[in-house]
A and B are shown apart, each in its own frame.
Chain A
């Protein structure tokens, strides 16, 4: 009798036992699925909660990448109507001023700053074509700070702020188009060097931007998500000249207006460690110079912290739910295995008589427990995948809310590994009990 490698022999036995275990699972489908319910929920929870944690983290990082980790964004915010003076007055004046912009430069850690005036969406025309978009007055620095990619031409340059060869007031009437605007107005030809009409003035197109991802909503209600592809960029100086400081809106017949000098200033800080302090300094500065709270400071880096907190919350929830359900699942397995051992006492006796050692019996029942928990784990993975892909979709469809989820491949292996461990841990005792049965007594068992 030649003997083979013990590992291969073990594999042969193991695979027979696995087939047996799967067969008896199939035979007792309901019973098996009830006993592994805890495992299914546990692994599902591990996969989905890890995905949600990862998703919010990923979203935040992407956002920060777009907005710049060393940037601070200061925006004008229309203060809530206090119902007194504004009723009578014609225009509301609020927001960041050119003076604020100058003050920001005094903060030593600020190494770059981009002012922006944003004129509400309006018609941008060329011949028979028309597109609605925001007009953004800004400076050359905008390009760097927002990591702007151009598909053709150039962005605004410093020279655009100087007195130019333009018309009456010596402003340079140049513009850079967002990708959607360019597409709409110049479907067939290159926009470079062509003219578009903004607010009854002709502007020469000097560049076209590549498509840009929108930024996510920042810091809850204060700033909503921003789209860029419909924007047209013109020099700040030209913007002030052409549009004036006041922007009028027609509301139910009455002409009301608002006067905002700068809608947004994006500041760049010299290094990452100083972003938070600089943000506080800027807030301080604005608090001292503004009577109303008509401004908001967003530090994209804060988003990272928020996301980390979010991820931590998910992790705590994960550990909590997973450990409870896996524990309950383990107890379920132990219970069913103990019942199985009693039910199959005679089988154990037969196997012992036919030459099975104690450890063979232990091995058999452990394999059965592991097969059960692994199958449960697999279903749990499917459940988790369903949640990871289904819930964000449903949230988007029915509640119009963004719930980021990013599947962590490791989580699949982790949860399957955990299910196997649960099988070993909770299958051990019943398997031991099975192996300790006396062969003769077991054979006599009815």
Chain B
């Protein structure tokens, strides 16, 4: 079966006034279903640019991007929105919760943009997800009343609510201390074990150690692409059993 993500010779240039910034200079990558990929590399190497393209938040200058069966590199804005709403979940470095909303309401947001009604059932699903990430007792709290780690858990629950094919995380532990980072990575590893495909950008090798595969970038190229035979979470989960 084809990979969840297939990109072919992806190029992204930023046209500035004087110069053209070549953020991606022909990147090809296939990510299979159930994979957990860590994207590493020095600052400015194009990790976020690639992740934004994978997240259908931007369009490539050239090259192709197949998400599942669909070629999304040529899609219109509205179609991209629909792809994001159907197939993708985002986890950001700075959590990006909506301050006016409670935990449950934040988790519900992606459902507002699907062609489905909100119901008791969707409400229940949001509560279940809150419980899954360990916030069953904070359902009506607002982001301001939560710690960074808790906010990131809400963000993960939100990324799961539309049952996405692919979860994209840009430095999800970048704002957290190492203990909380471990908790978050546990959660992501658990999700991956349950079958979710995850692509995560990180600077830290001990965070990348949780992934099954590590891709390193430099100057808009993929420098190396190696499997991680002993991902952290796997062992942790195995030992726990």
- Whether the Cβ atoms of A16 and B84 lie closer than 8 Å is no
- Whether the Cβ atoms of B57 and A440 lie closer than 8 Å is yes
Does B116 count as interface, using CB distance less than 8 angstroms?
yes
Known: A4-B115, A9-B116, A358-B77. Contact between A20 and B85, CB under 8 A?
no
- Whether the Cβ atoms of B100 and A360 lie closer than 8 Å is no
B117 to chain A minimum Cβ distance, whole angstroms, is: 5
B40 to chain A minimum Cβ distance, whole angstroms, is: 21
Most buried by B among A9, A350, A359: A350
- Whether the Cβ atoms of A357 and B116 lie closer than 8 Å is no
Give the CA-CA distance A401 to B117 in the complex, in Å: 59
- Whether the Cβ atoms of B117 and A12 lie closer than 8 Å is yes
25 A-B pairs within 8 Å (CB atoms) are namely: A3-B115, A3-B116, A6-B115, A9-B116, A12-B118, A20-B101, A23-B100, A24-B100, A27-B100, A350-B109, A351-B109, A353-B96, A354-B90, A354-B109, A355-B82, A355-B110, A355-B114, A356-B81, A357-B77, A357-B82, A358-B78, A439-B57, A439-B58, A440-B57, A443-B92
Give the CA-CA distance A20 to B117 in the complex, in Å: 18
Q: Which residues of A contact B (CB under 8 A)?
A: 1-4, 6, 8-9, 12-13, 16, 20, 23-24, 27, 346-347, 349-360, 439-440, 443
Known: A12-B117, A354-B90, A440-B52. Contact between A20 and B84, CB under 8 A?
no
Known: A440-B58, A443-B96. Contact between A354 and B110, CB under 8 A?
yes
Which B residues lie within 8 Å of A350 (CB)? 96-98, 109
A130 to chain B minimum Cβ distance, whole angstroms, is: 77
By Cβ-Cβ distance, the 6 closest A-B pairs, closest first, are: A355-B85, A355-B113, A357-B81, A354-B110, A4-B117, A12-B118
Which chain B residues in 34-65 approach chain A with CB under 8 Å?
Answer: 52, 55, 57-58
- Whether the Cβ atoms of A346 and B116 lie closer than 8 Å is no
Which chain B residue has the least Cβ–Cβ distance from A5?
Answer: B117
A344 to chain B minimum Cβ distance, whole angstroms, is: 9
Per-residue contact bits, chain B 111-135, to A (CB 8 Å; 1 contact, 0 not): 0111111100000000000000000
- Whether the Cβ atoms of A352 and B116 lie closer than 8 Å is no
Does B192 count as interface, using CB distance less than 8 angstroms?
no
Does B162 count as interface, using CB distance less than 8 angstroms?
yes
Which A residues lie within 8 Å of B78 (CB)? 357-359
Give the CA-CA distance A353 to B113 in the complex, in Å: 11
Which B residues lie within 8 Å of A24 (CB)? 100
- Whether the Cβ atoms of B117 and A356 lie closer than 8 Å is no
A437 to chain B minimum Cβ distance, whole angstroms, is: 12
A433 to chain B minimum Cβ distance, whole angstroms, is: 16
Known: A8-B117, A23-B100, A440-B57. Contact between A16 and B112, CB under 8 A?
yes
Q: Which residues of B contact A (CB under 8 A)?
A: 52, 55, 57-58, 77-78, 81-82, 84-86, 90, 92, 96-98, 100-101, 109-110, 112-118, 158, 162
Most buried by B among A2, A351, A353, A354: A354
Which B residues lie within 8 Å of A352 (CB)? 57, 81
B209 to chain A minimum Cβ distance, whole angstroms, is: 27
Give the CA-CA distance A27 to B101 in the complex, in Å: 13
- Whether the Cβ atoms of A13 and B112 lie closer than 8 Å is yes
Give the CA-CA distance A23 to B98 in the complex, in Å: 13
- Whether the Cβ atoms of A354 and B84 lie closer than 8 Å is yes
Which chain B residue has the least Cβ–Cβ distance from A1?
Answer: B116
Which B residues lie within 8 Å of A347 (CB)? 98
Give the CA-CA distance A443 to B110 in the complex, in Å: 16
Which chain B residue has the least Cβ–Cβ distance from A353?
Answer: B90
Which A residues lie within 8 Å of B158 (CB)? 354
B76 to chain A minimum Cβ distance, whole angstroms, is: 10
Known: A346-B96, A440-B52. Contact between A355 and B84, CB under 8 A?
yes
Contact of B116 among A2, A351, A358 (CB under 8 A): A2
A252 to chain B minimum Cβ distance, whole angstroms, is: 81
Which A residues lie within 8 Å of B92 (CB)? 443
Which A residues lie within 8 Å of B110 (CB)? 354-355
Apart from A12-B117, A354-B90, 8 more pairs, CB < 8 Å: A1-B116, A8-B117, A12-B112, A13-B112, A349-B96, A353-B84, A354-B110, A357-B82
Which chain B residue has the least Cβ–Cβ distance from A13?
Answer: B112
Which chain B residue has the least Cβ–Cβ distance from A356?
Answer: B113
Which B residues lie within 8 Å of A9 (CB)? 115-117
Give the CA-CA distance A351 to B86 in the complex, in Å: 14
Which A residues lie within 8 Å of B118 (CB)? 12, 16
Most buried by B among A6, A24, A351: A351
Give the CA-CA distance A442 to B218 in the complex, in Å: 26
Give the CA-CA distance A356 to B77 in the complex, in Å: 10
Give the CA-CA distance A227 to B82 in the complex, in Å: 77
Give the CA-CA distance A24 to B101 in the complex, in Å: 11
Give the CA-CA distance A349 to B116 in the complex, in Å: 22
Which B residues lie within 8 Å of A358 (CB)? 77-78, 81
Give the CA-CA distance A289 to B57 in the complex, in Å: 96
Which chain A residue has the least Cβ–Cβ distance from B98?
Answer: A347
Contact of B81 among A16, A20, A23, A355 (CB under 8 A): A355
Which B residues lie within 8 Å of A355 (CB)? 81-82, 84-86, 110, 113-114, 162
Which B residues lie within 8 Å of A354 (CB)? 84-85, 90, 109-110, 113, 158
A142 to chain B minimum Cβ distance, whole angstroms, is: 73
Which B residues lie within 8 Å of A1 (CB)? 114, 116
Which chain B residue has the least Cβ–Cβ distance from A360?
Answer: B113
Which A residues lie within 8 Å of B114 (CB)? 1, 355
- Whether the Cβ atoms of B90 and A4 lie closer than 8 Å is no
Which chain A residue has the least Cβ–Cβ distance from B78?
Answer: A357
Which A residues lie within 8 Å of B84 (CB)? 353-355
Which B residues lie within 8 Å of A12 (CB)? 112, 117-118
A63 to chain B minimum Cβ distance, whole angstroms, is: 57
Which A residues lie within 8 Å of B96 (CB)? 346, 349-350, 353, 443
Give the CA-CA distance A351 to B77 in the complex, in Å: 14
- Whether the Cβ atoms of B115 and A353 lie closer than 8 Å is no
B187 to chain A minimum Cβ distance, whole angstroms, is: 19
Which chain A residue has the least Cβ–Cβ distance from B113?
Answer: A355
Which B residues lie within 8 Å of A443 (CB)? 57, 92, 96
Which A residues lie within 8 Å of B109 (CB)? 350-351, 354
Most buried by A among B85, B86, B112, B115: B112
Which chain A residue has the least Cβ–Cβ distance from B122?
Answer: A12
